[in-house]
């Protein structure tokens, strides 16, 4: 890691941005409960917190993507109203999100100039003159690709540099970077760190958002900690340690618990050994038992969703073995996995789990068509059977809908999720995987879904629950595997599955080994 410059960062400089008492509610739930932050010119300031702490909402407020319900933001001591992203840009702020903004089919130069006014010559864009302006800035941030190269042919690291160059062309005084090294190798990360430090030395302020505490400790002169929508503390360089950060993030001293595997369970339904797909999944092994709820926890980018995509046949593994119910299991497609006895409730239910314009009944029967046809020889739908099966699931899961023929897109998030789960109840898979099963649902629906998961396990189904919410897994799971950097770094069982233990395990991995 590169050494930081604490002497420079500790110098007293006027604040560029001050946020005070910023509040924001979504659907009655407080995402931000009065958070504050001070950012000084020419500093690297870290922002940390567990998933759901309010980091993303705060950034959206600064970016003009959402409007605060209360509080104020001052730029250079003057109160401002950030009504739109364009206003944020005019105020000198630029935002580089984990999902980078670029157009693959355009050139490096065209992507750098996205959204920026362009020099023209008799009404025609003068790209040669623009290139002369951009060239020194591109060299400054280390862009080695020709400006006329297509962005689709470049690496993620190079696209990060393009986004930084775009920010500098906008005369940004504050650049917010969200998980900048999530998809970068160690060498690429080191190069980015050097550029960030050079930007700091030139007077640009960096707000660095990351789950990787080793990077926070190396780069940042001060760090703000959010928890559950609250501003908890700001830690300056002299007091900045891993222990101090983790204690602030989890809200207390970290428990030093040891956990033993439950060897009493002998009935293994799914065995995974050395499953690998670089760079996101690295040598993952575990066993899943009948009637067990197995949680997979960890921070965003830990490799959880990528792991279940391998198990479900959506991606192919580079290495590793799986055995399902005593037989070798090599799913080539999701359809193959479903036929073998797996079911998946995806993280993005609206995009990947539902046909929103179709009815509740249609969506319930998507994986169950063979059971509602009159006969294999005459593949016509038996509408009476379709209605009876759909109505039973709607009744059993308390899905709130006027009719089974109501378009599923008109239902609330919680009821949509019940429909996706209900689809698999009709099929009764051996293993049901749920990715973020209660994201975006209200408290009542959340309790219903948890109850349903436990009932499925009690009936003998093996269930895998992937969740980024450390408060969800302790009450729900018999066992939890914590992932970081694509690996299983800890297994928690029984009473050892606590919020603090989950968060501590997620942050405990140093992340020095990256492919």
**How many other CB atoms sit within 10 Å of the CB of residue 23?**
16
Nearest-angstrom CA–CA distance, 189 and 193: 6
The values of phi and psi at residue 212, to 5°, are -90, 100
Q: Which of 136-145, 469-478, 499-508 has the highest mean pLDDT?
A: 136-145
Both tokens of residue 89? Answer: 């840009």
- Are the beta carbons of 408 and 363 closer than 8 angstroms? yes
Distance CA 298, CA 90 (A): 37
Q: Are 24 and 31 in contact (CB under 8 A)?
A: yes
Instruction: Compute the distance between CA of residue 290 and CA of residue 310 in angstroms, rounded to an integer.
Output: 20
Both tokens of residue 31?
A: 């995402």
Question: In residues, how long is the chain?
Answer: 515
Q: What is the pLDDT of residue 444?
A: 64
Buried b (16+ CB within 10 A) or exposed e, 312-347: bbbbebeebebebeeeebebeeeeebbebbbbbbbb
pLDDT at 134 over 50: yes
Task: Tell me how crowded residue 503 is: count the other CB atoms within 10 A of its CB.
Answer: 23
Question: Is the Cα torsion angle 372, 373, 375, 376 positive or negative in sign?
Answer: negative
Query: What is the reported pLDDT for 384?
Result: 83
Phi, psi of 238 (to 5 degrees): -60, -30
DSSP character for 255? P
Residue 6's pLDDT is 41
Domain boundaries, the chain: 14-92+173-249, 107-170, 268-341+431-508, 347-428
Q: SS3 for 292? A: coil
Q: How far is CA 435 from CA 156, 236, 345, 438, in A?
A: 26, 37, 6, 9
Q: pLDDT tens, 343-391?
A: 998 888 777 888 889 999 888 887 777 777 777 766 777 778 888 888 8
Phi and psi at 388, nearest 5°, equal: -65, -45
Question: What are the structure tokens assigned to 423, written together?
Answer: 């689809």
Give me the architecture of the 268-341+431-508 domain, per CATH: 3-Layer(aba) Sandwich (3.40)
- pLDDT tens digits for range 173-194: 999 998 888 767 777 888 889 9
- CATH number of this structure's domain 14-92+173-249, picked from the four choices 3.40.50.300, 3.30.230.10, 3.40.718.10, 3.40.1710.10: 3.40.50.300
Strands 174-178 vs 93-96: parallel, antiparallel or unpaired? parallel
44-48 and 222-227: which strand pairing? parallel
**Per-residue pLDDT at 443:** 60
**Tens digit of each residue's pLDDT (9 = 90 or more) over 401-444:** 888 999 988 887 778 888 998 888 888 899 999 998 887 666 66
Helices (H), 64-117: 85-90, 108-112
Q: What is the pLDDT of residue 49?
A: 86
Q: Check if 14-92+173-249 and 268-341+431-508 are the same fold.
A: yes
For residues 151, 154, 157, 159, the Cα torsion angle rounded to the nearest 10 degrees is 0
- Tens digits of per-residue pLDDT, 215-232? 899 999 999 999 889 999
Residue carrying structure tokens 């599923």: 408
Q: What is the predicted pLDDT for the residue at 16?
A: 93
Contact by Cβ (8 Å): 279, 515: yes
Q: Mean pLDDT of all residues in the chain?
A: 85
CA distance 61 to 363: 36
- Backbone phi, psi, residue 491, to 5°: -120, 130
| pTM of the full structure | 0.63
Q: With pLDDT > 90 as the criterion, what percentage of the chain qualifies? A: 43
Backbone angles phi, psi at 236, to 5 degrees: -90, 165
Q: How many CB atoms sit inside 10 A of residue 228's CB?
A: 15
- Strand ranges for 399-460 from DSSP E: 431-435
List, as one string, the DSSP characters of 212-238.
-HHHHHHH-SEEEEEETTEEEEEEEGG
């Amino acid at each position: 890691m590169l050494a930081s410059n604490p002497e420079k960062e500790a110098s007293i400089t006027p604040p560029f941005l001050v946020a005070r008492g910023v509040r924001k509610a979504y659907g009655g739930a407080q995402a931000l409960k009065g958070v504050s932050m001070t950012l000084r010119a020419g500093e690297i300031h870290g922002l940390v917190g567990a998933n759901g702490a309010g980091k993303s909402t705060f950034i959206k407020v600064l970016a003009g993507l959402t409007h605060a319900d209360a509080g104020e933001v001052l730029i250079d001591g003057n109160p401002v109203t950030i009504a739109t992203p364009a206003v944020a840009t005019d105020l000198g702020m630029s935002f580089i999100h984990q999902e980078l903004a670029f157009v693959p089919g355009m050139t490096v130069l065209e992507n750098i100039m996205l959204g920026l006014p362009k020099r023209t010559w008799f009404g025609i864009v003068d790209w040669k003159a623009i290139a002369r302006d951009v060239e020194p800035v591109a060299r400054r941030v280390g862009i080695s690709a020709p400006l006329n190269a297509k962005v689709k042919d470049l690496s993620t690291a190079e696209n990060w540099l393009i986004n930084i160059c775009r920010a500098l062309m906008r005369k940004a005084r504050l650049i917010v970077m969200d998980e900048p090294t999530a998809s970068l190798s160690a060498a690429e990360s080191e190069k980015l760190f050097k550029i960030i430090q050079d930007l700091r030395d030139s007077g640009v302020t960096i707000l660095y958002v990351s789950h990787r505490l080793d990077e926070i400790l190396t780069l940042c002169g001060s760090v703000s900690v959010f928890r559950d929508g609250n501003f908890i503390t700001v830690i300056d360089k002299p007091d900045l340690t891993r222990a101090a950060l983790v204690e602030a993030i989890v809200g207390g001293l970290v428990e030093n618990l040891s956990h033993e595997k439950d060897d009493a369970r002998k009935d293994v339904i799914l065995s995974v050994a050395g499953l690998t797909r670089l760079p996101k999944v690295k040598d993952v092994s575990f066993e899943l038992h009948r009637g067990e709820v197995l949680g997979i926890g960890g921070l965003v980018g830990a490799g959880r969703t990528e792991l279940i995509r391998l198990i479900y046949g959506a991606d192919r593994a580079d290495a590793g073995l799986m055995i399902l119910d005593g037989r070798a299991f090599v799913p080539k497609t999701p359809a193959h996995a479903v036929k073998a006895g797996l079911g998946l409730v995806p993280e993005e239910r609206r995009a990947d789990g539902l046909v929103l314009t179709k009815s509740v009944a249609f969506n319930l029967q998507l994986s169950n068509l063979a059971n509602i046809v009159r006969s294999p020889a005459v593949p016509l739908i038996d509408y009476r059977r379709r209605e009876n099966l759909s109505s039973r699931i709607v009744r059993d899961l308390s899905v709130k809908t006027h009719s089974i023929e109501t378009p599923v897109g008109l239902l609330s998030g919680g009821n949509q999720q019940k429909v996706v789960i209900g689809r698999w109840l009709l099929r009764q898979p051996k293993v049901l995987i749920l990715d973020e099963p209660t994201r975006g649902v209200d408290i009542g629906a959340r309790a219903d879904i948890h109850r349903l998961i436990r009932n499925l396990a009690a009936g003998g189904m093996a269930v895998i629950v992937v969740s980024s919410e450390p408060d969800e897994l302790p009450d729900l799971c018999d066992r939890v595997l914590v992932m970081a950097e694509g690996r299983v770094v800890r297994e928690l069982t029984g009473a050892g599955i606590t919020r603090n233990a989950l968060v501590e395990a997620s942050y405990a991995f140093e992340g020095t080994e990256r492919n």
